[in-house]
Structure 1
Amino acid sequence: MTDRHVTGPDPLTRFLRAAAATPDRLAVRSRGAGLTFAQLADRVTALAGALRERGVRRGDHVGVCLERGVDLVTALLAAWSTGAAYVPLDPRHPDERIAFMIRDCGPRLVVTADDRPTRLTGVEVIVPAAVGPATAPVPVTPADAAYVIYTSGSTGVPKGVVATRGGVASLLHRLEAVGAYPDEHRVVGWNASASFDASVQQWARICRGDTVVVLDEEERRDPARFGAALAEYGITDVDATPSHWEAVEPGNTSLPLRLFLGGEPVSPALWRRLAEAGRQGRVEAYNLYGPTECTVDSTTAPIEGDEPHIGPPLPDVEAHVLDDRLAKVPVGVTGELYLAGPAVARGYVNRPGLTAERFVADPFAGGGGRMYRTGDEVRWRADGALEFVGRADRQVKVRGFRIEPGEIEAAVAAYREGCAAVVVARADDLVAYCVGDVDLDALRAHLAAQLPAHLVPARLVPIAAFPLTVNGKIDLAGLPDPDADRIDGRQPEGKYEELVADVWADVLGRDRVFADDDFFALGAHSLMAIRVVARVKKELGTALSIRDVYRRPLLRDFAEFVRATHVGAAATAER
């Protein structure tokens, strides 16, 4: 059994040690800005002093509503210095979502670049450049809260997961212990949103002395910009979901690269491609698995061989594959995964019932303890690795985001009396089948105002009634194909319309598309837009941005823009 208590020092302590040991090393940088470890430590101390002057105390929550950049790192570390937990409030989330999180977790104040933000009414705010008296960091224990990150809730209400400082210390320790984080200094690309738990294992690497590069939105989403950023900043390590990596992979020319994939299963094709890249020394890839409730990563596997798996449990993690009676199942038999150890979170903010349901007594711990019921079905392999099988409930993962369909269904029901929906995942998209008096455009606007972008269904499909099983339950398998009633439109004409039509059809997984089709109405999302840009560049050598796709969603308009850009580039090259 793994020793639960060998987790290493507190992450803030490690950061301060790194600042003392390498004060002139670049700690964090973003487009047009950068700070050494000494400069960052000074800024953290100044902001922490200002937070304490405003009443922040150990155990409080501090909201952080900042765009991606060096100020974001400063704010997160400053919250820790006061003994508080940070609560990321993504500026791109709808106002109502942010307002709910503020009401739910009750932050003492919010760090934001705008000192008069209308969307943060009812809570005190402070700017990241605020300066207060310098004092030593507040002492904490491993049980103190480190952050609160909100995930989708099955009842329609997001739930805030309270992770601990000991859990973050364990995260760093366990990835170092298996060699995923090497001893030498690395340059780490921070790719994930701060409101997504994968961000913790990216930005917190600054605590071990690594340099963190905060990629901006364009660098994250545009294949050419992504690849250029890797080369320009000298990034050695980057983390992504498999879907995101496949979208930006064509722009990667930075070799060799250590790649961490997580958030969703790795397809067999991508696994084999990365395994081959590993054999050639181009990419060293790891597959990571873990729920938010267990501080990001619980298992890992080097991507080698032909068969995808999630690897063995990391040090500090105890994994149990159990049947319905909480008995351990043999190797090769599917059961539900339960996780125990110091990385298990405290529970959910203001949700004692749900906390008791998901965080259960650990019958295998000699001195007592808790284990987290993941809801994931897995099975042991003979070599000690775990193989992911699927979910035991309706929860789905789409593009790395954990999604409870019930939260979206509740938002649809709140749109208008008599409206209801069933939400399912189709390939890499969410589809909402809606009944009732529904204006689809108005419903989409309603959902966009209530939910983060990753929870807004790509397709809204009106149906007369939900299909039912003989037992009177909704028959998910009986829901219609959302494209079954597709009628013909204008056929693409000419070289550029036909090229774009081929690219769109391939990216969308459709047999055909029409010249008057709207890319996003067909169910596209930002990762698909990235793939379109990459494919056009491959076919024509013409560099576009994903903004070009968003600004011209109709196929005929986008094809005309591609034509004009391609012809203009060719004419310029001939001069």
Structure 2
Amino acid sequence: MTGDLAGEISASAQGRGTAPAPGATTAQTAAPPTTPPAAAPACASAAGPTAATDAFDGAGPAADRLLSDLLTARARRTPDAIAVRCGGRTLTYAELIAAGERLAAELGGGPGQPVAVVVDRSLELVVALVGVVMSGHAFVPIDPSYPPERRRHMLVDSGASVVVTVTRLADRLAAERATAAGGAGAVGRVVCCDAPGPAPARSVHRPAGPDDLAYVMYTSGSTGRPKGVAVDQRCLITGVLAFGAVVRPAGGDVWATMTSASFDPILVDVFLPLVHGATVLLATDDEALDPQALADLFSTGGATIGQATPLVWRALLETGWPGGLRVALSGGEPLSVGLAAELGARCAAVWNVYGPTETTIWSTGHRVGPRDTHTVPVGRPLPGSTLYVLDAALRPLPAGELGEVWIGGDKVARGYHRAPGLTAERFRPNPFGPPGSRLYRTGDLGRTLRDGAVELVGRADHQVKIRGHRVEPGEVEAHLTAHPDVVHAQVGARPGADGPQLVAYVQPAGAPAPDPSSLREHLRAALPDYMVPGVFVEVRQWPRTPNGKIDRAALAALVPVPRPTEPAAAPARTDTPAEPATATPAAGPDGPAPAPDAPASFLVTLWEGLLDGPRPGLDDDLFALGGHSLLVMRTVAAVRKRFGVRLSTVEVMSNPTVRQLADLITAKAAPPAAADDDADAGGGGGAG
């Protein structure tokens, strides 16, 4: 490993005695397997695949240092280097640590206390995370774009007594704070990190220990409420530094990030480059939803490393982005062979990474190569992680056999915050490791390949990934059945042109059935954008299997697979997809049909293809029809390509109908010189 952290790296997993069992892969060689406890299932006697012993230098990060120590040490070495750039603003390392110390001083308190961080993508987001880390508190990231009900639940459930935000969001949070104040763990105060107090007279680091709580990250929950994953300081430092074995960052790197603060890869995006003296290049909210703006940011910002979901990488490539990254990281959902090849043709190295929130950021990595012609594996475990493919009796399986993926090692989280029953269900004693070690049951199905890499092939339950986010169908179903016109609901996923798409099967309470737009409005009051189904299907009688359960396969057959909106990916493709052929919407009660080449006709055809539904009318609302952030991104890119007009995501969301957005495009496309010419003509006459 390069950089000043070489001395911080040691074989920590070896030191703690974690050992690979037959059928397991691990990133380091360790002592022989310990004897499983009598109550634990026995290991398979047949020899499993050889453990991966050299995938990541056989080293794991030391867990005896705190992240705050590493950040301040880096600032002392390179105080004037640029630490963060965002929205045309910058902070040096000295300025970032000073701002973090001021926030830490204002937070006060003791180690491990939850502090909510409700900040949009900005310099202040990095200041907030660094400040909470330096204070010794535990941060609870809450996306400010989430519905108020969801934010209130996270505030109350986490027990956060303080909210860190920015002045531009403080008023919006007042209502949530007032409502949450009546619950357990009431929010006591709000601290704006862009209006900090005076600089502290001395360092304000709190004595947080390796076992203290570092953060609580919320994911979708099957009970109808999001669940918080509680992670300690040891896991955080291990999870961040372990990823250095993949990226090998250095002081000259510029790490581009567009990850949401509520998605744990943001912790690698922010803390790993900062520990190594690199620059964090943070996309604003608007840039993160505008592929061309992202491409421009990568180019003008001199990005050398970038992390994104496959959907974002695909959108970037469609802009004609030339690439040039030293490392491109793809995670959050499956990486296709075609997309991997396209990225590989433009970037020096492409890695496919995988890991649940419960095992602290990423757990495995695979560098894409020419042998990946059928599928792209998720690879071998990172330092500090051990991965097992087990059968139903928790026996390790040999290479090639399909089983459920379990993850162990030094990065397994504490469990679910305030949910001991769920924690006991998903976190189990590790029968192959030392006493006290645990395994996390991922629910992912996979197999170990002969070279020790792991390939994922689906789920053992109904959980789905939507645009990189984990969704428990049960949470969406619970909110649907709370609608007064819905008796019962089932939620699943179908293949879509841009990845899996949520489908809701709804049994109405009477006739007529509730309109899909009213159901979407109901869900959006409680759920984030990615959890709102794009398709609603009325079901009067549920199909049943022979044993009486709802037949999900029969339900899925009720919904046709959407037609693709772009050509299938091909290796090393350099062109961009063809524009949608425009068709004139029929004249109707909302006025005469526009000309075929008008923006309205273009939008009608574009949205019809993206939504895979009926042709929208001029006054139909994109979001009422099932639109979401990804479709906004697609719209922004398509309008720019077709008309040369640069729209912001806010403009699309503020003008959500065909008519409104078409009028905006027309206005922005009008040559500004026309008015100036008239003024010049009038002025010339007066002078003469």
Selected match of 1:150 from 218, 221, 236: 218
Instruction: Give runs of aligned pairs for residues 286-435 of structure 1, distance below 5 A.
Output: 286-305=351-370, 306=373, 307-416=375-484, 419-426=487-494, 427=496, 428-435=500-507
Counterpart contact for 1:46–1:133, Cα < 8 Å: no
Amino acid corresponding to residue 61 of structure 1 in structure 2: P
Q: 2:590 matched to 1:495?
A: no
Q: Distance in 2 between matches of 1:90 and 1:61?
A: 16
Count of aligned residue pairs for this structure pair: 563
SS at match of 2:381: coil
Match of 1:17 among 68, 73, 80: 73
Task: Give yes or no for contact 2:61–2:383 (8 Å, CA) kept in 1.
Answer: no
Q: How far off is 1:521 after superposition?
A: 4.4
Give yes or no for contact 2:104–2:134 (8 Å, CA) kept in 1.
Answer: yes
Residue number in structure 1 paired with 2:628: 525
Does the aligned pair in 2 maintain the 1:160–1:349 contact within 8 Å?
yes
Question: Given residue 354 of structure 2, which amino acid in structure 1 is its aligned partner?
Answer: Y
User: Which residue matches 1:26?
Assistant: 82
Conserved 8 A contact 2:306-2:325: no
User: Bigger CA drift: 355-364 or 438-447?
Assistant: 438-447
Letter paired with 2:550 = I
Match of 1:78 in 2: 131
Q: CA deviation at 1:418?
A: 5.2
Q: Secondary structure at the match of 1:415?
A: coil
- Maintained 8 Å contact 1:201/1:296: yes
Conserved in 1, the CA contact under 8 Å of 2:74 and 2:275?
yes
Which amino acid counterpart does residue 197 of structure 1 have in structure 2?
A: D
Q: Which residue of 1 aligns with 2:238?
A: 170
1:71-470 superposed matches below 5 A: 71-114=124-167, 117-121=174-178, 122=181, 123-125=187-189, 126-128=191-193, 129-131=196-198, 134-178=202-246, 180-205=247-272, 206-251=274-319, 252-253=321-322, 255-278=324-347, 281=348, 284-305=349-370, 306=373, 307-416=375-484, 419-426=487-494, 427=496, 428-437=500-509, 438-470=514-546
Q: Deviations over 1:485-536 (max 9, x none)?
A: xxx98388623466445544554457x7455565444433221232233234
Answer yes or no: is 1:7 the counterpart of 2:61. Answer: yes
Shift of 1:189: 2.0
Deviation at residue 4 of structure 1 after TM alignment: 6.0
**1:186 partner amino acid:** D
Q: Does 1:57 align with 2:113?
A: no
User: Deviations 1:202-252 (Å, cap 9, x if unpaired)?
Assistant: 111223322112211111111221122222322222211111221233343
Residue 320 of structure 1 and its aligned partner are, at CA, apart by 0.6
The CA distance in 2 between the partners of 1:177 and 1:268, in whole Å, is 24
Secondary structure at 2:597's aligned position in 1?
A: helix
Return the letter of the residue paired with 1:120: R
Shift of 1:553: 4.2
1: distance between equivalents of 2:608 and 2:325?
33
List gaps (5 residues or longer) in structure 1: none
Quick check: 2:323–2:343 contact (8 Å CA) kept in 1?
Answer: no
CA 1:237 to 1:344, structure 2 compared with 1: closer, same or farther past 3 Å? same
Return the letter of the residue paired with 2:353: L
Point out the more displaced range, 255-264 or 287-296: 255-264
What does residue range 508-519 of structure 1 map to in structure 2 within 5 Å?
508=611, 513=615, 516=618, 519=622
In 1, Cα distance between equivalents of 2:672 and 2:643: 10
DSSP 3-state at the match of 1:263: coil
Q: Name the amino acid aligned to 1:33.
A: R
Structure-2 change in CA distance of 1:500 and 1:72 (3 Å): closer
Q: Give the Cα separation in 2 of the matches to 1:48 and 1:567.
A: 50
How many Å apart are 1:439 and its aligned residue?
A: 4.8
CA separation in 1, counterparts of 2:204 and 2:130?
A: 13
Verify the 8 A CA contact 1:403 1:455 in the aligned structure 2: yes
Amino acid at match of 2:176: R
SS at match of 2:428: strand
For the 8 Å contact 1:490–1:514, the answer to whether it is kept is: no
How big is the shift at 1:30? 1.7
Could you report, residue by residue, the CA deviation over 1:382-427 in whole angstroms, capped at 9, with x for unpaired residues?
1211111111001000000000000011111222275321111123
Q: CA deviation at 1:288?
A: 0.8
- Cα 1:108–1:207 change in 2 (3 A) is farther
Percent same amino acid at aligned positions?
37
2:47 aligns to what?
A: none
**SS of residue in 2 equivalent to 1:90:** coil
Give, in whole Å, the separation in 2 of the partners of 1:317 and 1:397.
Answer: 23
Mapped to 1, the partners of 2:516 and 2:630 lie a distance apart of: 23
> Cα deviation per residue 1:305-334 (whole Å; 9 max; x = unaligned)?
223111111121111100001111111111
| CA distance 1:444–1:523, shift in 2 (3 Å) | closer
Is 120-129 or 249-258 further displaced after alignment?
A: 249-258
Q: Distance in 1 between matches of 2:338 and 2:201?
A: 55
Instruction: Give the direction of change, closer, same or farther, for the CA distance of 1:500–1:481 in structure 2 (3 Å limit).
Output: farther
> d(CA) in 2 for partners of 1:272 and 1:467?
42
Q: Which amino acid aligns with 1:365?
A: G
SS in 2 for 1:288: strand
CA distance in 2, matches of 1:531, 1:439: 26
Normalising by structure 1, we get a TM-score of 0.90
* Structure with the greater alpha carbon radius of gyration: 2
Distance 2:662 2:542 in 1: 38
Q: Which runs of 5+ in 2 are unaligned?
A: 1-10, 17-59, 182-186, 562-583, 588-592, 679-688
**CA gap 1:458/1:481 in 2 versus in 1, 3 angstroms:** same
The secondary structure found in structure 2 opposite 1:495 is coil
The alpha carbon displacement at 1:181 in A equals 2.9
SS at match of 1:531: helix
Q: How much has 1:447 moved relative to structure 2? A: 1.4
Change beyond 3 A, Cα 1:476–1:92: same
Shift of the alpha carbon at 1:570?
11
Cα separation, partners in 2 of 1:560 and 1:48, compared to 1, 3 Å = closer
- Cα distance in 2 for partners of 1:538, 1:464 equals 44
Q: CA RMSD in A?
A: 2.9
TM-score by length of 2: 0.76
CA distance in 2, matches of 1:293, 1:535: 38
Query: Which range is displaced more, 405-414 or 551-560?
Result: 551-560
Q: Which has the higher mean CA deviation after the structures are superposed, 65-74 or 527-536?
A: 527-536
Aligned residue for 2:392, secondary structure, equals coil
Q: Report the counterpart of residue 638 of structure 2 in structure 1.
A: 535
Deviation at 1:164, TM superposition (A): 1.9
Q: CA contact under 8 A between 2:250 and 2:276: conserved in structure 1?
A: no
Measured against aligned partners, the alpha-carbon deviations of 1:414-456 in whole angstroms (never above 9, x if no partner) come to 2227532111112332121222243544332221111122222
Distance in 2 between the 1:106 and 1:74 partners? Answer: 22
Comparing 463-472 with 92-101, which one deviates more in the overlay?
Answer: 463-472
* Preserved contact between residue 467 and residue 478 of structure 1 (Cα < 8 Å): yes
